[in-house]
Amino acid sequence: MLPSDDKEHRSTLRVLSEFTMLAERDEQFRAPLLKVQQDFTNGFFDLLSKGAEWGLVGPEKIEVSSKILALLIDNLSRCKMMKMDLDYQIIWEETVNRIITRERT
């Protein structure tokens, strides 16, 4: 789930970062970028909803949890692009585990 460290992926992240900066200034770029971001959030929502159907995730706060996951993976990708020294896997796993635990209690 986490972004890889390969050169091609870093190049893609740099292009996406440039596109994001353009979207901050120009509406013609903002709408498509927001659509991509919303689709990403919707994917996490669908995933957590399926987990709720299977009894793995409680149905409470699925919407906010899906947004937390989308924001986290986006920011982890940016940090990786800047080569920050973080334990990305543990951060991701801990967040997922907390969401699953919180949702089930």
Question: Dihedrals φ, ψ of 83, to 5°?
Answer: 60, 40
Tens place of pLDDT for every residue, the chain, 105 residues?
Answer: 555 666 776 777 777 777 778 888 888 888 888 898 899 899 999 999 998 998 888 888 899 999 999 999 988 988 887 889 999 999 999 999 988 865 455
For the question of whether the overall pTM of this predicted structure is more than 0.85, the answer is: no
Q: Rounded CA gap, 30 and 38, in Å?
A: 12
Residue with tokens 């991509």: 36
Containing H/E element for 60? none
